């Protein structure tokens, strides 16, 4: 991959580029690959976790459009474009479905804007996912996400990138604030939330330390399941509840993995906002 933007430092790993490598992509640098190699020593199932998470994203978007009438998506921390992105899955079912991607990684923004340049129902917004008011005030969001249309906000495998701060930038506060803004768009809107969790305190500590060190501090932490449950306070969780994303409405015709990841899982679910 060639350096294309002065804001992109190829020597500092990026979570988005590491995820791209784990998915088998090519939009990454040697620094990202080296960091992934270190991650795989601690958590050998990291590649499988990434693939299962991507399958969950495809599945949940399709179900929300087809079965819940979702017409608009706000995807926080969307990452690098790959196969079956949110807008592609959604617009195959409903060509008029609208999608806004939010990210602040310069390489994500550059690739996203190039990929989506001719898609009138899709936009990429440069913003930190914690800056809720800035996001909802952005012209692209105001143009695409209209009141009265069923909307889903996605926080898929991104909240572990946010540290616990105990203030307005804390991940729980970000989720609450986003829910409040979704309510302003109308009743019946939904949120999809999942993040990396582990029952093993050594894994939580080692991965968190590695990722914080590798990314220059652009990381939060691997959490416990009950901490993810706290994100859903005040929301009505849809069936099957909060689970390993492998099990969230799994395709009955597709085989489940013969071996489950042992070190950690992507844990979460889908919830409807209370009116």
> Which pTM value belongs to this model?
0.95
Question: CA 15, 20, 22 angle in degrees (round to 5)?
Answer: 95
CA distances (Å), origin 151, targets 19, 66, 100, 155: 26, 13, 11, 13
Q: Specify the pLDDT at position 70.
A: 99
- Three-state DSSP state, 241: coil
Q: Specify the pLDDT at position 67.
A: 98
* Residue 8 or 168, more confident: 168
Residue found by looking up tokens 């932490």 in the block: 221
What dotted CATH number matches 15-273? 3.40.50.150
Nearest-angstrom CA–CA distance, 206 and 214 = 12
The DSSP call for residue 198 is -
Rounded to an integer, the average pLDDT of 185-194 is 98
Task: Give the side-chain half-sphere CA count within 13 A for 9.
Answer: 8
- At 1, the pLDDT band (50, 70, 90 cuts) reads very low
Angle between helix 30-42 and 201-214 (nearest 10):
170
CA distances (Å), origin 23, targets 16, 102, 142: 11, 20, 32
- Those residues whose C-beta lies under 8 Å from the C-beta of residue 264, and which sit 6 or more positions away, are 43, 45, 49, 196, 197, 198, 200, 203, 207, 222
Q: Specify the pLDDT at position 94.
A: 98
**pLDDT tens, position by position, 170-184:** 999 999 999 999 999
Q: Specify the pLDDT at position 256.
A: 74
- Three-state DSSP state, 176: helix
Nearest-angstrom CA–CA distance, 46 and 94 = 33
Is pLDDT above 90 for 265?
yes
């Amino acid at each position: 991959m060639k350096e294309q933007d002065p804001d992109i430092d190829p020597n500092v790993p990026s979570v988005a580029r590491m995820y791209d490598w784990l998915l088998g992509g090519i939009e990454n640098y040697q620094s990202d690959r080296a960091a992934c190699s270190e991650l795989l020593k601690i958590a050998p199932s990291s590649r499988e976790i990434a693939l299962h998470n991507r399958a969950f994203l495809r599945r949940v978007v399709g179900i929300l459009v087809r079965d819940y009438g979702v017409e608009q998506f706000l995807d926080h921390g969307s990452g690098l474009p790959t196969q079956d992105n949110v807008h592609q899955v959604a617009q195959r079912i409903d060509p008029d479905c609208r999608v806004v991607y939010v990210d602040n990684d310069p390489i994500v923004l550059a690739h996203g804007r190039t990929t989506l340049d001719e898609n009138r129902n899709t936009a990429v917004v440069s913003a930190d996912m914690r800056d809720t008011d800035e996001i909802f005030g952005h012209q692209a969001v105001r143009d695409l996400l209209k009141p009265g249309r069923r909307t889903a906000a996605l926080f898929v495998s991104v909240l572990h990138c946010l540290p616990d701060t105990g203030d307005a930038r804390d991940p729980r506060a970000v989720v609450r604030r986003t829910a409040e803004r979704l309510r302003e768009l109308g009743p019946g809107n939904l949120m999809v939330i999942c993040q990396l969790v582990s029952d093993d305190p050594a894994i939580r500590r080692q991965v968190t330390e590695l990722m914080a060190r590798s990314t220059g501090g652009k990381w939060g932490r691997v959490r416990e399941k009950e901490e993810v449950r706290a994100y859903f306070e005040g929301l009505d969780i849809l069936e099957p509840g909060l689970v390993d994303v492998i099990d969230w409405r799994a395709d009955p015709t597709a085989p489940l993995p013969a071996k489950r990841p042992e070190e950690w899982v992507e844990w979460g679910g889908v919830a409807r906002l209370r009116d």
